[in-house]
Homo-oligomer: A and B are copies of this chain.
Amino acid sequence: MSHRWLIGVDIGGTNLVVAAVPYTGGEPAAVRSRPTSPGRGADAAVADIAEMAEEVVAETVERHGARREDFRGVGIGCPGPLDRRKGVIGTSPNLQWDGYPIRDRISAAVGLPASLDNDANCATYGEWWQGAGRGTASLVGVTLGTGIGGGYIEAGRLLRGTSGSGCEIGHMTIDFDGRMCGCGNRGCLEAYASGPAIAARAREGLEAGRTSVMPEMVGGDLSLVTAATVYEAIQAGDAYASEVLTESARILAVGLANVINVFNPEMIVIVGGVTRAGRYLFAPLREEVGRRAFGSAVEACTIVPGALPATAGVIGAAGVFVMERHR
């Protein structure tokens, strides 16, 4: 018996990931990844994606006995906002391919029908379909990285606003006279709790002379401090790094408390490298969420790290294709 397959595409600010995903869910059979080079332009990225798609199809045919015609579609995840109906990229602070018809270009290059959704919706759907959120009736996914995104699933369906830019959790204002955000607004959650915001907070203290192993870790060049440096320093027992992460967790908690008061979800899944910080992140996060959101809604909500750190986005992009076909 021959199974049906999908191609999942995850377009990130750092990497392009392409995978062969079983139509009914499960582990990808073949995965390829290349660096994203936004400066080369979107056409070059589409060409890269088409090459990687050809590779994962060939590998699945060779190793899993699939036939080429068993591949039924391409699910694409891409940083938002998007015009999902038209399949076009909107004005984005993180990926500057404004107005590019990404869905139809990939569909044409690969020769299969395609779906498009934003990266955070895809990661959320991946965690709901195959990861930490399996079986939940209502789930919010929060993606923490260069930006902060989100997705909401109720009764197996992603929340869809009217023009495809729903659940932009990172651009909730949590401090109306606060820091400027890349989106042009003031006081967005993303301006405080994204990876770059965590790194910036760490650097501020280091520049002010706080004692830490971090300067040594980056050879004295503080511009090299990233959120990952902070997590690694915590593992090494660095007190200042813990303090930075605790503060970031408290601010992230303001955003999650808003999410809980607005969506009242059964689960929040946090996706991204930051979850490697484990209890250093989750303990202060849960504490502050409990202080801020409605008690009954906090009790009803589990906050967990994602179960598919590397593949939620690409699996979910494929899953969204299936969801769209069976709506």
Contacts and interface: CB of A to CB of B under 8 A. Distances in A.
Interface of A: 81, 83, 90-91, 137-138, 150, 154, 159-169, 171-177, 183-187, 251, 254, 257-258, 261-266, 291-297, 299-301
B83 A254 contact: no
Question: Counting chain B CB atoms within 10 Å of each CB, which of A172, A173, A266 scores highest?
Answer: A173
Contacts of A159: 154, 159, 263
A161 B138 contact: yes
B171 A261 contact: yes
Contact of A161 (B150, B251, B297): B297
10 contacts: A81-B294, A83-B296, A91-B294, A159-B159, A159-B263, A162-B301, A163-B296, A163-B300, A166-B262, A185-B257
B173 A294 contact: no
A292 B185 contact: yes
Contacts of A90: 294, 296
Contacts of A150: 262
A183 B297 CA distance: 13
Contact of A264 (B165, B176, B187, B251): B165
Contacts of A291: 184-185
Given A154-B160, A262-B262, 10 more contacts: A159-B263, A161-B263, A163-B297, A165-B261, A166-B262, A168-B297, A173-B258, A174-B175, A185-B291, A258-B258
Contacts of A168: 261-262, 264, 294, 297
A174 B164 CA distance: 24
Contacts of A174: 173-176, 187
Given A174-B174, A176-B174, A185-B291, A264 B297 contact: no
* 5 interchain residue pairs of minimum CB distance: A161-B264, A163-B300, A166-B264, A162-B266, A168-B261
A172 B264 CA distance: 12
Contacts of A176: 174-175, 251, 254
A294 B263 contact: no
